[in-house]
Every structure is written in structure tokens, then in C-alpha cells.
A and B are shown apart, each in its own frame.
Chain A
């Protein structure tokens, strides 16, 4: 029963994964951005579990557990500790481009990643790559786009984390038996990275009173 529906359910997760990535590019609210990231991480967990059960790969189940612990629990917690007032204030994020333009560009980026991924899918030849590889690649590119287009340090951090999610989403289908040690190292890496960036943002906020990166143009020594 489950094995019959694995592929469609994985595709289902993939569709929503893409949608959350687009949402993170275009949403205005800080808190919504973080929530969308958590939903995206949950979808990644679901996809890893589905593929892990289908290919009976314990490593992927471990990936799912590690991803859940780090991205759904640890990262929001770390961010809340380091810069709670920044995120949980209801405020809007600045953008370099206006939202319709950013959305159209992200559609073009998704098209591009599908275009790039199609030959790779045939080259890899694993069962789930036709869904996961292009969507994961799109997540990577859209995360990079978020980093470029947002003027806010916090949103840029979330962009980095989306890139990471995209890479994982693609890799769970390409390498179903990734050694757990690689996963654990990535898993420790990501919360530490967000902790460091979070603390940095907090320092910036203390010094300049805002976290709008575009305003940090002049160098001041004291």
C-alpha cells in the first residue's frame, strides 16, 4: 500500500517544497518567512522518510531524523535565542526588486534548473531523481536568489538555509546510501552556522539599530 503511493507522495512533497521556496522569495513578513522555512524542512523530512522506506535505506531515515531535529527544532530555537526580538517582531522585509519581478525571475530560475536537471536525471538513473533532482536544484537556486534579492540579514540567512534544504532534497534521491557521518557533520554545521550568523546579526543590530544590510555601506572606525 505504502510502496504503491511512495512516488506520488514524494511528488506531492516536491510540489509543496517548490511552493515554499517561491514563498520565501516573495513573502513580506519576517515571521512568515521563518514559518515557510520550517514547513519546507518538514517536507524534506517527509520526502526522506518516504524514499528511505521505499528503498529500505536506514541512512535516509537517519537523514530524516537529523533534519527534523536540526532544522525544525534546533534552528528556530537558536534563532529565537540569538535574535528573538528581531524575528518575532511583526515587520516587513525590504527587497531590491519589486515582488512581481522577483516572482517572474524565480519562475525563470525554476525553468532553468529543470532544463539543467533533465540530462542529469537520465545520467543518474535512480528511481526518484526525476522529481527530487530538479526540485532540489530549484531550491538551491531560489535560495541563492533570496540571498541576493533581500536587503535584510535575517532573510538572507533563511536564504542560505533554503539552499541547504535544496541540496539535501536533491541528494536524498541521488545517493540513497549516504554515510551517516556526512549527514551528522552537515547537521552540526548548519545550526552552528545559523548561531554564528545570528550572533553577528545581533551585533550589527546593537551597533547600527537595524539589520537592513543595504544601509551598511560606509565603514566607520572608532
Chain B
């Protein structure tokens, strides 16, 4: 049991420690594709360090929510990390505390507090960004539910560790239409949830067009650092769910030894790198959608997921 707790802690440490690196690599690759040199891949760490050194300015008019929200947003991805397979194929200590739905709701709770905090600071851009995020959020919700219904139909469970083994256990189950469709729908969900390019422009600086970023325009110092870090971690957690549970459930530690667990870290990073390449291709080849076309994007994701369910229920 102690070993299992230790592995869990390693898992959390990997996500907390390497999430800024993943973000940095993504920035670097995106700039490289646009034939710019791009920032150093460790730039995100430097930014975080700089922000942590600075004073935090909090408006007198804001309530406790504004102060609490960064901590809530920072803790939620860590909780989720306890539930999902990051490094091991066998369930760890906290694996049965919650399923994929719980993980989704934990992340949504962090998003909810961020939206509240954006309204709380009474910055007009904040409220606008918060309402837009909610719009994307409630359009993404049915997709999210359908993905998990389909996955639980296929695997007979919603615990991520069991889902993960079900794709590899059935010979050829990997190639089933349901698998491909679910992966695609989940990818679209990640793009919407993470404010990535077809839905939102993460590198844009224009407040009126912002969806995801305008929620923390009011934060400075430690709060800003925590939110930035939380964003990186949330991205890494979703990447891990996509890579380790849905797409490629291989390369994880199978033995209960420390060496195997540590060896899994570079493999997971490698898978993440491949996913980042796909993401860079998507982001550099598409343009940002107009606000009212986001509903089309997400309804396409919903229909793809519905098809996955249909092919699963009726097809076999």
C-alpha cells in the first residue's frame, strides 16, 4: 500500500513538475512552424518564477472568491491526477475514489470558480470572457457526457484504468469505429475546453476576442502564477487522458517496481510530444471560428459521439 501511495505521489509530481515543460514545448513548436525562432522550452518555468516573486494586487471591492479561485483552480488538476493513469497500467491508491465523470466535474469546478472570480473583479472584459466560457462550456457538456456514456458502454466501467485495458484486451478493439469516433470527439472537446485554435486563439492579445484568457486579466503576482500553472496542468491531465486512456494505452508501467514507474515517464512524454505535433498541425492549419460558429463545431463533436454510440450499440 505504501508503495502504491508513493507511486501516486510520483504521478502528481510528474504532472505538477512537467506540465510547464509541455506547454513550453508546444509554444516553441508552434512558433517554429510559423518559421519564427520561438521562446526557450523552459520559458514557462521562468515566467512562473518571475510571477511568484512579484507582489499581488487585489482590488478592495472584490470578495473572497477572487482570492480563493486561483487555489481552487490549482488544486483540481492535482486531484484529477490521482484518479487517472499517468504512469502505471494498474490502479493506484486513489483510483477507485472517482471515475472519469468525477474527473470531468472536478475540472469543471475549477472552471466555475474562475468564471466567478472573473465576474467578481468587475472588469467588463472578465464578465464577457466568463459568459463566453460558460457558453462554450454548456455546449461542450453534452459531448462530454456522450463520450463517457460511450466509453462506459464499451468498457463496462467508467474507471479510467479499466477503460484503458478494455481497448487493448479485445483483439483489434483498437480499430473499431467506436474507438476512432470517440477519440475524435474527445479531441474536439479538448480543443474547445482548452481554448485552442478553432474555438479560441490562445496567443491573441485582443480583449474583445478573448474567450479563455480574459478571465484572469485582473490577476497579478502569485495568483497569476497559480492560474497559469493550473492551466498547464489541466492541459497535461487532458493529454494524459487522451493518450493513456483513449488513444495509445501502451508504454505504461506494468510492474510494481520503482524502476518501471520511472521508466514510464519518458515514454509518456514521448506520447505527449506526438500529440503536441498533431495539435500544432491542427492549430496552424485552421483559423479561429466566429463566436456563433462554435456551436457548429461542438454539435459536430456531439454527433460524432452519438455515431460512436450508435455503431457500438447496433453494430456488434
Contacts and interface: CB of A to CB of B under 8 A. Distances in A.
Interface residues of A, number: 31
A124 interface: no
A8 B172 contact: yes
A74 B175 CA distance: 31
Interface in A1-25: 4-5, 7-9, 11-12, 14-16, 18-19, 22
Contacts of A104: 299, 303
A106 interface: yes
Given A22-B303, A100-B299, A130-B315, A11 B175 contact: yes
B242 interface: no
A26 B300 CA distance: 8
Nearest to B301: A103
Report which residue of B174, B296, B315 has the largest number of chain A beta carbons within 10 angstroms of its beta carbon. B315
B64 to A, nearest CB: 39
Interface in A108-164: 110-111, 114-115, 117-118, 130-131, 134-135
Given A22-B303, A103-B299, A114-B310, A15 B172 contact: no
| Interface SS of B by simple majority | helix
Contact of A8 (B176, B306, B307): B176
A14 to B, nearest CB: 5
Contacts of B307: 18-19, 22, 107, 110
Interface string B292-316: 0001100110111011001100111
A8 B175 contact: yes
A151 B316 CA distance: 37
Contacts of A175: none
A99 interface: yes
B177 interface: yes
DSSP class of A's interface residues: helix, strand, loop or mixed? helix
B12 interface: no
Contact of A100 (B172, B181, B295): B295
Given A5-B172, A111-B310, A134 B315 contact: yes
Contact of B180 (A5, A15, A100): A15
Contacts of B296: 26, 98-100, 103
Interface string B106-137: 00000000000000000000000000000000
Given A111-B310, A115-B314, A11 B176 contact: yes
Contacts, number: 83
A52 B299 CA distance: 37
Contacts of B172: 4-5, 7-8, 11
Given A16-B180, A103-B303, A104-B303, A9 B175 contact: yes
Nearest to A104: B303
Interface residues of B, number: 26
Given A19-B184, A103-B303, A12 B175 contact: yes
B180 A12 contact: yes
A8 B174 contact: yes
B270 to A, nearest CB: 24
A15 B300 CA distance: 15
A100 B307 CA distance: 15
B303 A15 contact: no
A131 B176 CA distance: 10
A23 to B, nearest CB: 9
Interface in A59-114: 98-100, 103-104, 106-107, 110-111, 114
Contact of B177 (A5, A11, A22, A106): A11
Given A7-B172, A8-B172, A15 B177 contact: yes
A18 B303 contact: no
A137 B169 CA distance: 30
Nearest to A115: B314
B62 to A, nearest CB: 38
Contact of B314 (A16, A107, A118): A118
Contacts of A135: 177, 311
B35 to A, nearest CB: 23
Given A11-B175, A19-B180, 14 more contacts: A12-B177, A15-B311, A18-B177, A18-B311, A22-B303, A98-B296, A99-B296, A103-B296, A104-B299, A107-B306, A111-B310, A114-B311, A117-B314, A134-B314
Closest CB pairs A-B (n = 10): A15-B177, A8-B172, A8-B175, A114-B314, A100-B299, A12-B175, A15-B180, A103-B303, A99-B296, A107-B303
